[in-house]
Amino acid sequence: MATVLFVVKATITKDREEAFNRWYNDEHVPQVLQFKGVVSARRYKALEGEEKYQYMAVYELQDEATYRRLMTSDHMKLLRSEYDAHFGGVSDRARFAYTQVWP
């Protein structure tokens, strides 16, 4: 059973950055972690090499089946709609998923 990393990269306008980080850390990530099979979550801020996205969230899921269930779930629909309601006009984001290939 291979682990899956679900990665979300995001930009945010400078005037909304503090609210973005507070909401992401205190509300959004805890909501994601409620989904059965999400193992962990971490957030990062770019230091260099990233020209478009300032922030990255990395969620570890127990396997691909969990990832697929999450992506089609009502839980994910709610998470996305809440993100859009808070930061839809001032943020850009991209999503990626990776399955573990070694070890």
pLDDT at 64: 97
CATH of the domain at 94: 3.30.70.100
Please state the domain count of the chain.
1
User: Rounded to 5 degrees, what are φ and ψ at 88?
Assistant: -55, -40
Q: Which amino acid, one-letter code, is at 43? A: R
Convert the pLDDT of each residue in 45-93 to its tens digit: 999 998 999 999 999 999 999 999 999 999 999 999 999 999 999 999 9
Tokens of 78: 């709610």
Q: Strand runs (DSSP E) across 1-103, as ranges? A: 4-12, 38-45, 55-61, 91-99
Instruction: Provide the domain limits for residue 18.
Output: 4-99
| pTM of the complete model | 0.95
pLDDT at 1: 75
